[in-house]
Amino acid sequence: MPWKATTPMSERLKFVLQILEHGERVTDMCKEYGISRKTGHKYLKAYKEYGPVALYDDSRKPDSSPHRTPPETAALLVKARKRHPTWGPKKLGAWLKAKHEGIVLPSSSTIGEILKREGLVRPRKSRKRFTPIQSGPLTQPSPILSDAEYLRLSGDVLARIEATTDRWLQDDVIDIDTHRTGGLLELRFPNGTQLIVNLQPPLHELWMAAKAGGFHFRHVQGRWVDTRDGSEFFDALSRHASAQGGRPLRFEPAALPG
């Protein structure tokens, strides 16, 4: 659809926020708003670097922006990235704040744009959409697990994954970017590959999409097990994460009550 009869700036802002805050795909939003991908990425880049003021028409933009990253700060970010080429924006920002007391840094997304502009970020492969496979005959919800119990137990799984990746980041094990939208958790590894864990409330299942394929898990006797081969969810998650992360990684399930 073309820009609505409000103002171009407000529509551009809505376009940007739907992508940055709600996780919508750039391609989909460009089609919805009737603009080219090149234009969409231009608005995103301008917003990340200069803030909402950059979305005004050129004739209404101020000569300078208070949100622009100072050159000396950008230079520190570039120097830190060259020293630690495998670190992502979040880790670089945390390291600089600890090293330079009182330093004011831009957001992680802006740091990423600065590094990309300086040629310090390798382009990632285009994002692939995962189409879940249909599981076999074991697709009916468990008569034992209530809807409330399913949501609690499956939610604990996602929270445990996020807590583990946060701990790895703090301990300099590996920088895995996570993004959660409702019952869908995306893990993006430093090499650009993704692993997705998705809740399926109607089936009382957990679905995992890894580089090796798609897998379904059902809660049985205190464990999430693969509906095809009976393997445990966290064992499978650790195996696929290790393969995609290029190093041994172990996700641990919560201890069963005694």
Please tell me the predicted confidence (pLDDT) of residue 107: 80
- Residue 56 belongs to some domain of the structure: yes
Task: Using a pLDDT cut of 90, give the percent of the chain over it.
Answer: 21
Report the Cα–Cα distance between both ends of the chain, in Å, rounded. 58
Q: Which residue has the tokens 């980041």?
A: 169
Please tell me the predicted confidence (pLDDT) of residue 258: 44
Q: Examine the domain organization and report whether 171 and 190 are in the same domain.
A: yes
What crossing angle do the helices spanning 8-20 and 37-50 adopt, rounded to 10°?
80
CB 32 within 8 A of CB 25: no
CB 240 within 8 A of CB 210: yes
Please tell me the predicted confidence (pLDDT) of residue 58: 53
Please tell me the predicted confidence (pLDDT) of residue 64: 46
CB 253 within 8 A of CB 187: no
Take residue 146 and report the two structure tokens written for it.
Answer: 């209530």
- Residue 136 belongs to some domain of the structure: no
- Residue 253 belongs to some domain of the structure: no
Nearby residues of 126 by Cβ (< 8 Å), 6 or more positions away: none
Q: Examine the domain organization and report whether 154 and 236 are in the same domain.
A: yes
pTM of the model: 0.47
pLDDT value at 60 more than 60: no
Using one digit for the tens of pLDDT, what is the confidence trace for 1-43?
444 446 777 788 888 888 887 888 888 888 888 888 888 888 8
CA dihedral 149, 154, 159, 161 (to 10 degrees): 150
Please tell me the predicted confidence (pLDDT) of residue 128: 55
Long-range contacts of 30-34 (CB under 8 A, 24+ apart): 32/1, 33/1, 33/2, 33/3, 34/1, 34/2, 34/3
b/e sequence 69-92, b meaning 16+ C-beta within 10 Å = beeebbebbbebbeeeeebbbebb
CATH code of the domain containing 211: 3.30.920.10
- Residue 128 belongs to some domain of the structure: no
- Residue 125 belongs to some domain of the structure: no
Pick the most confident of 73-87, 92-106, 114-128, 214-228. 214-228
Q: How many whole angstroms separate alpha carbon 37 and alpha carbon 240?
A: 33
Q: Examine the domain organization and report whether 156 and 79 are in the same domain.
A: no
Q: pLDDT higher for 121 or 164?
A: 164
- Residue 217: strand, helix, or coil: strand
- Residue 154 belongs to some domain of the structure: yes
Q: Which domain holds residue 219?
A: 147-245
Mean per-residue pLDDT for 195-221? 90
Q: Examine the domain organization and report whether 106 and 179 are in the same domain.
A: no
Using one digit for the tens of pLDDT, what is the confidence trace for 63-89?
444 456 788 888 888 888 888 888 888
Region of residue 119 (left: phi > 0; alpha: psi -120 to 50; beta: else): left
pLDDT value at 246 more than 50: yes
pLDDT value at 124 more than 70: no
What is the count of structural domains for the chain? 3
CB 73 within 8 A of CB 67: no
Q: Examine the domain organization and report whether 44 and 87 are in the same domain.
A: no
- Residue 194 belongs to some domain of the structure: yes
Q: pLDDT higher for 255 or 16?
A: 16
